[in-house]
Amino acid sequence: MTVVILRPVLCAILAITMVSCASLSRRNILTMPYEDRLQLASIYIQGGQVEKAIPLLEDAVNQERDRPEAWAMLGELFWLKGDLEKSSTYLEKALNAGGEDPLILNNLAWVESARGHPERALALVDRAIAMEPAPLFPYLETRARILMKLQRYEEASADARAALSLTPEYDKDMKEQLEELIGEIEELGAVEDGTIF
């Protein structure tokens, strides 16, 4: 009989403890510093819980609107979700908040190219490259892909080859992607020129 009485009492104590912990954690989230929000959002993202990361990042941008990190993270998340409009908007806000950042410019170039604005994308990636980011090869790859969309195959091939030469030997996946890109560009360029293989 004692066990039967204790079980409801223990359940009630456990329920009260869980409710108080939940309200405590919500209180902590409301007062959480900007950097901690970004860190927690990163943990959620790495754990595949993107939907939990988004409200944290939205809170972070409301907390410090003049900082680019949360805006940029939101832009990248919406890119992954396939919402190019929101991605573009958030990446633009990141640029406005933080000034010229080659990584944000490059990411926005990818988004704008996917949205069907390759001329704008090219201008963005050119701004990023002018800042001489290190390493340079990812930016040259972006530029080569955009130039390919613009049917400027000779320039695209040159950028893809430069990116390949700058890619570290240990990055076999990137080297393979660049070799495939070069093949695509050359095939499209040959078709454009009327050269048949």
Question: Are 86 and 62 in the same domain?
Answer: yes
What average pLDDT does range 34-43 have in this prediction? 97
Task: Write out the DSSP string of 129-187.
Answer: HHT--SS-HHHHHHHHHHHHHTT-HHHHHHHHHHHHHHS-TT-HHHHHHHHHHHHHHHH
Q: pTM for this structure?
A: 0.81
pLDDT digits (tens, 9 = 90+) for 172-181: 999 999 999 9
Question: Are 94 and 119 in the same domain?
Answer: no
Question: Are 62 and 93 in the same domain?
Answer: yes
Range of the structural domain that residue 167 is part of: 102-197
Question: Are 163 and 195 in the same domain?
Answer: yes
Confidence of residue 21 (pLDDT cuts 50, 70, 90): very low
User: What span, in angstroms and rounded, lies between the C-alpha atoms of 26 and 15?
Assistant: 17
pLDDT digits (tens, 9 = 90+) for 84-138: 999 999 999 999 998 899 999 999 999 999 999 999 999 999 999 999 999 999 9
What is the model's pLDDT at position 13? 39
Q: Which of 81, 146, 148, 141 is nearest to 113 (CA)?
A: 146
Tally of domains within the chain: 2
Higher per-residue confidence, 54 vs 196: 54
Domain boundary among 99, 116, 134: 99
Question: Are 115 and 176 in the same domain?
Answer: yes
Question: At a CB cut-off of 8 Å and minimum separation 6, what does 1 contact?
Answer: none
Confidence of residue 6 (pLDDT cuts 50, 70, 90): very low
Whichever domain contains 106, its CATH number is 1.25.40.10
Report if residue 188 sits inside a domain: yes
Report if residue 31 sits inside a domain: no
Confidence of residue 9 (pLDDT cuts 50, 70, 90): very low
- CA–centroid distance for 96 within its chain: 17
Report if residue 86 sits inside a domain: yes
Of the listed ranges 71-75, 80-84, 187-191, the one predicted with least confidence: 187-191
Question: Are 139 and 90 in the same domain?
Answer: no
Question: Are 119 and 162 in the same domain?
Answer: yes
Higher per-residue confidence, 13 vs 164: 164
